[in-house]
Amino acid sequence: MNKTETPDIINSSVYDVEKIRSDFPILQTKVHGKPLVYLDNAATSQKPISVIMKAQEYYSSMNSNIHRGVHALSQVSTEAYEGARIKIKKFINALGKNEIIFTRGTTESINLVAQSYGRMNFNEGDEVIISQMEHHSNIVPWQMICDEKGAKLKVIPINDNGEIIFEEYEKLINNRTKFVSIVYVSNSLGTVNPVKQIIDLAHQNNIPVLVDAAQAVNHLPIDVQDLHCDFLAFSGHKIYGPTGIGVLYGKVNLLDAMPPYQGGGDMISSVTFEKTIYNELPYKFEAGTPNIAGAIGLGEAIDYVQKIGIDNINKHEKELLDYATAAVAEIPSLKIIGTAKNKVSVLSFVLDDIHPHDIGTMLDFEGVAIRTGHHCTQPVMDRFGIPATSRASFAMYNTKEEVDVLIKGIKKIIEVFG
C-alpha cells in the first residue's frame, strides 16, 4: 500500500474485526490444541505485524545509538526515535515534544514524578490524595516518598459499584494537600473515573494532578490540554506496542522546575567534577541509552491505532463488554465485581465457591487466556472482601464468538464443580 492510500478499515463504515485479527500473528495460534482466545489484554495487549516488523527493521537496518553519532546510522535512528516522540505528542495533544519523556512504562513514569516532584515539593504533614482503586504502581511510589518526607497518603473511597465517591474526595482536599494522583480507568474494575472533574477541583485549590492512563490510552481518546492534567503516564505494551517503553507527559513549566530522576549520559549538557549542567527537556529525564527500538515500535503502534480510530475501537469494545455482561447475568452463581455506570473493557467476576485460580486454569485448557488474582490492586479486593477475581479484558481484535467461548467455558466449570 502506498502512503496516500487509505486502508480498507477506514473506508468501511463497518468495523472489520477479521481484517484487524489478520494483522496479529499470535491470534492465529492455538493453545492446548484450541484456538487462542486472548482475553488478558489489561495485562498486556498483542502486537500487530507492523509493530513486530518495526523492531526487526530497526535492528536490521538502523541499529545505532541516538543523539551522539555524526555517522549516518546514528542520524537515522535519532530521527526515528524523535519521530516517535512527535507521534506521541500529537496522539495525546501535548503542547510540545519536550513534554514527552520516554520511560520504561507507567510504573517508572509515576516513580519519576514521585521521586523528582515529590522530593522537591513535599514536606512533613503534607498530604497526597490517591483513590482506593489504584494499581500498586500508583500507591507504593507515593507511600515511599511520603514515608521519606513525613507526608501522609489520603485515599478516596469507592462505592459498591466500584466508583469514586466524589463528595469524599471533596472532603479530603485541604490546605495540606500537595498532590493528587488518580487512575483514569481501573484495571481490576473497568471503572472510568471522572478525571476532568477531579482535576478541575484540584486546580481550584492549586494542586497538581497526575493521571495514570495505563488502561485508558488504548480505549479512550486522550487530550492532555483538554484534561488540563499536569502529568499523565502510560505504557507502550498496553496500546499494542512493545514492552519496556512508556511515556510520562508533563506540563513544561513543572518538568522544567523538577530535578532529574536519574543521572548519567544524555541527561547532561556538560560535566566537570565540580559541576554538572543538566540537559534541556525532555533529555534531562532520559539518562542512559533508552529503549530505542521500543520507542520506534510504540510510534508504529500509535499509527496502527490511529488508522483504526480510537473511537471505533471504543465502540467495538463497548459492544463486547455489553454482550459479555448480559451473558454472564444469566449465570446465578456469578457476581460481577465492578458495576460502574461508566466502564470499559474489563469484566471482573467471582463464582460462588470456585477459586479464581481454578477458573483461570480450566479456561486455559479451553484456549481462553484470562487473568486471575488481585491484579496488583489488593486494596480493591479488600474493599469487596474477596481475595481475587477472574478478569476478562477486551481489545480491538476480540469478537463476540470469543465471548461465547468464554461463557461456555465458565458454564462448564460450574458443571464440573457441581
**What is the contact surface with ligand 7TS in residues (CB under 6 A)?**
42-43, 105-107, 135, 137-138, 183, 187, 212, 214-215, 235, 371, 375-376
Is 376 designated active site?
yes
Q: How far is the CB of 313 from ligand 7TS (least distance, A)?
A: 17
Q: Which residue from 418, 372, 55, 386 is spatially nearest to 237, judged by alpha carbons? A: 55
- Cell matching residue 176: 495540606
Q: Going edge to edge, which strands form the sheet with 346-351?
A: 334-336, 346-351, 389-393, 371-373
Q: How far is the CB of 275 from ligand 7TS (least distance, A)?
A: 34
- Cell matching residue 404: 461465547
Q: Measured between alpha carbons, how far is 239 from 217 in angstroms, rounded to an integer? A: 7
Question: Which C-beta is closer to ligand 7TS: that of 77 or that of 111?
Answer: 111
Q: Which residue from 282, 346, 345, 293 is spatially nearest to 337, judged by alpha carbons? A: 346
Question: Which C-beta is closer to ligand 7TS: that of 77 or that of 215?
Answer: 215
Coil, strand or helix at 108: helix
Judge contact between 356 and 334, C-beta under 8 A. Answer: no
Element (H, E) at 235: strand 231-235
Task: Return the residue matching grid coordinates 541499529.
Answer: 63
Element (H, E) at 347: strand 346-351
Question: Which C-beta is closer to ligand 7TS: that of 98 or that of 235?
Answer: 235
Contacts of 115 (CB under 8 A, 6+ apart): 141, 145, 261
- By beta carbon distance, the residue nearest ligand 7TS is 187
Q: How far is the CB of 276 from ligand 7TS (least distance, A)?
A: 29
Question: Which C-beta is closer to ligand 7TS: that of 77 or that of 109?
Answer: 109
Q: Measured between alpha carbons, how far is 26 from 45 in angstroms, rounded to an integer? A: 11
Judge contact between 363 and 122, C-beta under 8 A. Answer: no
Q: How far is the CB of 135 from ligand 7TS (least distance, A)?
A: 4
Question: Which C-beta is closer to ligand 7TS: that of 98 or that of 111?
Answer: 111
Question: Which C-beta is closer to ligand 7TS: that of 115 or that of 279?
Answer: 115
**DSSP per-residue string spanning 18-48:** HHHHHT-GGGG-EETTEE-EE-BTTT-----
Q: How far is the CB of 91 from ligand 7TS (least distance, A)?
A: 17
Question: Which C-beta is closer to ligand 7TS: that of 47 or that of 371?
Answer: 371
Q: How far is the CB of 399 from ligand 7TS (least distance, A)?
A: 22
Q: How far is the CB of 188 from ligand 7TS (least distance, A)?
A: 7
Q: Which of 376, 378, 387, 412 is catalytic?
A: 376
Judge contact between 198 and 65, C-beta under 8 A. Answer: no
Judge contact between 62 and 76, C-beta under 8 A. Answer: yes
Give me the residues paired with residue 392 across strands.
347
Contacts of 418 (CB under 8 A, 6+ apart): none
Residues noted as catalytic:
376
